[in-house]
Amino acid sequence: MTETKALLRALAGEVLPTPPIWMMRQAGRYLPEYRETRAQAGDFLSLCYAPDLAAEVTLQPIRRYGFDAAILFADILLLPQALGAKLWFEPGEGPRLDPVTTAEELAALRPTAAIHDTLGPVYDTLQILTRELPAETALIGFAGAPWTVATYMIAGRGTPDQGPAHKLRVEDEATFGGIIERLTEATVEYLSAQVEAGAEVVKLFDSWAGSLEGDSFERWSLAPMREITAALKARHPGLPVIAFPRGAGTRFEGAHEAIGADCIALDDGVTADWAAAHVQPAGCVQGNLASRHMVTGGEALVDETKAIVKAFSKGPHIFNLGHGITPDADPENVALMIETIRGTA
Catalytic residue from among 29, 35, 292, 342: 29
Catalytic residue from among 25, 182, 226, 246: 25
Three-state DSSP state, 87 = strand
330 Cβ partners below 8 Å, 6+ apart? Answer: 30, 294, 295, 297
Q: Tell me if residue 152 is catalytic.
A: yes
Give the helix/strand (H/E) hosting 139. strand 138-144
DSSP string, 34-73: HHHHHHHH-SHHHHHT-HHHHHHHHHHHHHHH--SEEE--
Catalytic residue from among 49, 65, 152, 190: 152
CB 291 within 8 A of CB 322: yes
Q: Tell me if residue 75 is catalytic.
A: yes
CB 100 within 8 A of CB 77: no
CB 22 within 8 A of CB 318: yes
Catalytic residue from among 9, 30, 34, 38: 38
Catalytic residue from among 64, 75, 110, 342: 75
CB 144 within 8 A of CB 208: no
Q: Tell me if residue 38 is catalytic.
A: yes
Q: Tell me if residue 25 is catalytic.
A: yes
Q: Which are the catalytic amino acids?
A: 25, 29, 38, 75, 152
